[in-house]
């Protein structure tokens, strides 16, 4: 056995075959895979990473100090099958000199498409309509039945005009959006492409007909969408979140939706995931909840898997990663 072949890698889930083929073909490492579609239990994760040189993980795996300690000093690289990295203890990982690979860009189009689909489904009440057809609630054509809100002539506000935020804005503009507002830590030259106006958060929240959250989850954005935030939104406005659940205070969102403070919400991400089936948000007709499927197209997940594998291999061999997180 060569020195290279004893590199140990723990893969925390069954991943699309595109990535597994790359890892197997490289012949660089002993692969240990949690061969399931369900998340690895914490105890198995801690056991599985022991002595590992590389970890290939998912956003559902919390990689914190305990996991890093369990892995020990061999650990050189963590490659996550996601663009979000809020599940990784970045400060601690950086301190230990461990490199991180992630999957920006390759999921941008799929996530932006899903966001537009969720926005339209929420604003035009598609799940309610489908339900009414099935349950006999469709009696006849009625002038005000199942009316919603349209994008034409509207103001859309994007919180976090990053890769995905810009891709959402590009897709929404052709629907006849009149004003495209955005907020973030700084104005963006690329916003010109969508005639984006950089505005303070308060302005965005109070003037938008559609508020779309596409920022990353950080200590600054955690709980950003709370009671005060929703109280500033128009009563006719729609709230969409495809970033991370923890950006939203869900109790405050429930209150805003049930009291008529805002018109409707569409969420692809929640806290926790999965959202318990008895959760109050699921009792509301004006709340559309999807099971975190932003990047879920076959091709996108295949490319994400390839990129995650290639990042991992580059981290193991000390070469340039296709997508390394700058920490």
Question: Which residue is associated with the tokens 């990784």?
Answer: 88
Q: Looking at beta carbons only, is 28 or 204 nearer to ligand NDP?
A: 204
Q: Which two tokens stand for residue 185?
A: 């830590």
Q: How far is 165 from 172, CA to CA, in rounded Å? A: 11
Considering only CA atoms, give the Rg of the chain: 22
The nearest distance, CB 29 to ligand NDP, in angstroms, is 27
The nearest distance, CB 1 to ligand NDP, in angstroms, is 39
Q: How far is 70 from 45, CA to CA, in rounded Å? A: 9
The nearest distance, CB 132 to ligand NDP, in angstroms, is 28
Q: How far is 77 from 265, CA to CA, in rounded Å? A: 38
Q: Looking at beta carbons only, is 48 or 295 nearer to ligand NDP?
A: 295
Contacts of 208 (CB under 8 A, 6+ apart): 155, 156, 157, 181, 233, 234, 237
Distances (CA, A) of 291 to 242, 263, 270: 11, 21, 8
Q: Looking at beta carbons only, is 101 or 162 nearer to ligand NDP?
A: 162
The nearest distance, CB 116 to ligand NDP, in angstroms, is 13
Q: Looking at beta carbons only, is 207 or 268 nearer to ligand NDP?
A: 268
Contacts of 114 (CB under 8 A, 6+ apart): 242, 268, 290, 293, 294, 295, 296
Q: Looking at beta carbons only, is 30 or 190 nearer to ligand NDP?
A: 190
The nearest distance, CB 183 to ligand NDP, in angstroms, is 6
Q: Looking at beta carbons only, is 19 or 160 nearer to ligand NDP?
A: 160
Residues facing residue 267 across a β-bridge = 241, 289
The nearest distance, CB 286 to ligand NDP, in angstroms, is 20
Active-site residue flag, 87: no
Show the beta-strand stretches assigned E in 146-298.
Answer: 155-159, 179-183, 196-198, 210-213, 238-241, 264-267, 287-289
Q: Looking at beta carbons only, is 46 or 296 nearer to ligand NDP?
A: 296
Q: Select the residue whose beta carbon is closest to ligand NDP and give its number.
A: 162
Residue pair 18/305 in contact (Cβ under 8 Å)? The answer is: yes
Q: Which two tokens stand for residue 165?
A: 């935020």
Alpha helices per DSSP H over the chain: 17-26, 42-48, 65-71, 90-95, 108-123, 126-135, 163-172, 201-207, 227-232, 250-258, 298-317
Residue pair 100/79 in contact (Cβ under 8 Å)? The answer is: yes
Catalytic residue among 53, 87, 279, 292: 292
Residues of this chain that bind ligand NDP (CB under 6 A):
83-84, 104, 107, 111, 159-165, 183-186, 214-218, 220-221, 242-244, 268-269, 292, 294-295
Give me the active site residues, please: 292
């Amino acid at each position: 056995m060569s020195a290279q072949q004893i590199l140990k890698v723990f893969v925390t889930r069954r991943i699309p075959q595109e990535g597994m083929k790359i890892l197997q073909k490289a012949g660089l490492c002993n692969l240990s895979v949690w061969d399931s579609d369900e998340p690895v239990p914490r105890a198995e994760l801690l056991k599985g990473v022991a002595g590992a040189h590389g970890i290939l993980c998912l956003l559902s795996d919390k990689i914190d100090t305990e996991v890093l300690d369990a892995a020990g000093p061999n650990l050189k690289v963590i490659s996550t099958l996601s663009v979000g990295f809020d599940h990784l203890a970045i400060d601690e990982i950086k301190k230990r000199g461990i490199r991180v690979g992630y999957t920006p860009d390759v999921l941008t189009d799929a996530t932006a498409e899903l966001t537009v689909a969720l926005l339209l489904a929420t604003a035009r009440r598609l799940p309610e309509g489908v339900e009414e057809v099935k349950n006999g609630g469709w009696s006849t054509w009625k002038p005000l039945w199942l009316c919603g809100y349209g994008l034409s002539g509207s103001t859309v506000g994007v919180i976090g005009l990053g890769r995905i935020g810009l891709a959402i804005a590009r897709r929404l503009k052709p629907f006849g959006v009149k004003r495209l507002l955005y907020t973030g830590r700084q104005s963006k030259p690329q916003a010109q492409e969508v005639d984006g106006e950089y505005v303070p958060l308060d302005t965005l929240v109070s003037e938008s007909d559609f508020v779309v959250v596409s920022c990353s989850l950080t200590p600054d954005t955690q709980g950003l969408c709370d009671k005060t935030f929703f109280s500033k939104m128009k009563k006719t406005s729609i709230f969409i979140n495809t970033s991370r659940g923890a950006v939203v205070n869900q109790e405050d969102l429930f209150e805003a939706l049930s009291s008529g403070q805002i018109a409707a919400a569409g969420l692809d991400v929640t806290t926790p995931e999965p959202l318990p089936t008895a959760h109050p948000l699921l009792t509301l007709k004006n709340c559309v909840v999807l099971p975190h499927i932003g990047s879920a197209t076959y091709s996108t997940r295949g490319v994400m898997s390839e990129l995650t594998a290639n990042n991992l291999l580059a981290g193991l061999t000390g070469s340039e990663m296709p997508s390394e997180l700058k920490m």
